[in-house]
């Protein structure tokens, strides 16, 4: 129960400083923006990094599907021109 009191005390002290000092509120805002951008960066790296095996497989699958589609279109266009 004492740990809860510590967190409540810490939150009220930080809320007091945020409400009374404009520079602290700006700092909290900018820090939250930095944390948000770092989170977006890590998320993008995890979802799009080609060293990730899942992403590598998805890239391969998408490329294979596109190659099959292009091959089919090429065969169709060759059939139309040969007739």
Please state, in angstroms and rounded to a whole number, the distance separating the CA atoms of residues 50 and 73: 28
Residue 50 has pLDDT above 90, yes or no: no
Query: Which is higher by pLDDT, 64 or 1?
Result: 64
Please state, in angstroms and rounded to a whole number, the distance separating the CA atoms of residues 55 and 62: 10
Q: Which burial class, exposed, middle or buried, applies to 7 when counting CB atoms under 10 A from its CB (0-12, 13-18, 19+)? A: exposed
Mean pLDDT in residue range 61-72: 96
Please state, in angstroms and rounded to a whole number, the distance separating the CA atoms of residues 83 and 67: 25
Q: What is the largest CA-CA distance in the chain?
A: 86
* 3-class SS of residue 50: coil
């Amino acid at each position: 129960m004492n740990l809860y009191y510590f967190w409540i005390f810490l939150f009220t002290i930080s809320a007091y400083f945020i409400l009374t000092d404009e520079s602290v509120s700006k700092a909290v805002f900018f820090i939250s923006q930095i944390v948000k951008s770092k989170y977006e960066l890590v998320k993008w790296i995890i979802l799009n990094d080609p060293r990730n095996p899942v992403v590598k497989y998805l890239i391969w699958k998408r490329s294979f599907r596109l190659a099959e589609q292009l091959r089919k279109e090429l065969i169709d266009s060759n059939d139309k021109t040969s007739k």
